[in-house]
Amino acid sequence: MLVVGISSAVAVLPRVRARQVQWRIAAIVGGAGAVSAFAGAAVNRLLDPRVVLASFAVLMVMATARMLRGDGEAGGDCALPGGGVNWRGCLPKSVGAGIMVGFLTGLFGAGGGFLIIPALVLLLGLPMTLAVGTSLVIVVLNAAAGFAAHAGDAALDYRIAAAFTLTAILGSLTAGRLGSRLPADRLRRWFAYLVFAVAAFVIIQAFISPLS
């Protein structure tokens, strides 16, 4: 979460300049998620690590399968055709999405981007480019809350964290340039394929590799 939070904070800067962040939705979803992340972290301490990893992988597959189905086209209360927002309908959806994603962020100890983007696209109806930029702000908030919730659980090797953070920043900035030039539908499919691959790795980690 330390790596994801810092790299996302850097990666969002080009999106801010391109006006690809819905700040109010990011604040609502991120704020609700930051609170519920502590509840997720409390549940995490009660579960076997293998159960957590396996559940994490299953959830990744379910979320990205919905993305590939393409049944969540942009539009709705949070993205009106004229560019506005119907807050009467959007506000409860945003709060609910934030609570759900924040809890799962704390539970799985992940930044939550693999869940935030499907939630923004499928539940709130944001276009993919706007969902990516908005999700980065939410990831920063959720990762900060999740890191605080797990801070006393284990000692950190800050040299490894720094190495991962620097390479993640370089990768996110490079990918941000590439992503801004890709059609939204292709970007959504590539995102789903990548998460499927990560889910497969997590399953292997849970059932084959020994856990300490």
For residue 33, what pLDDT is reported?
Answer: 85
Residue 76 in domain: yes
For the chain (212 residues), the mean pLDDT of every run of 10, in chain order, is 85 87 92 86 85 82 75 68 85 92 80 76 85 89 78 77 88 75 75 82 71 50
Residue 144 in domain: yes
Alpha-helix residue ranges (DSSP H) falling in the chain? 2-17, 23-44, 49-69, 87-108, 113-118, 128-150, 158-179, 184-207
For residue 87, what pLDDT is reported?
Answer: 92
CA-angle at 129, arms to 67 and 107, nearest 5°: 55
For residue 26, what pLDDT is reported?
Answer: 93
b vs e for 130-143, b when ≥16 Cβ sit within 10 Å of the residue's Cβ? bbbbbbbbbbbbbb
**What one-letter code names the amino acid at 25?**
I
Q: Give the whole-angstrom CA distance, residue 5 versus residue 197.
A: 22
Taking Cα atoms as reference points, which of 26, 28, 52 lies closest to residue 40? 52
Q: Give the whole-angstrom CA distance, residue 38 versus residue 47.
A: 15
* Distant-in-sequence, close-in-space partners of 144: CB < 8 Å, separation ≥ 6: 1, 5, 34
Residue 182 in domain: yes
For residue 17, what pLDDT is reported?
Answer: 87
Contact 38, 145 (CB under 8 A): yes
Could you identify the residue written with the tokens 């301490």? 45
Residue 63 in domain: yes
Question: Which domain range does residue 87 map to?
Answer: 2-207
Residue 212 in domain: no
Number of domains composing the chain:
1
For residue 70, what pLDDT is reported?
Answer: 60
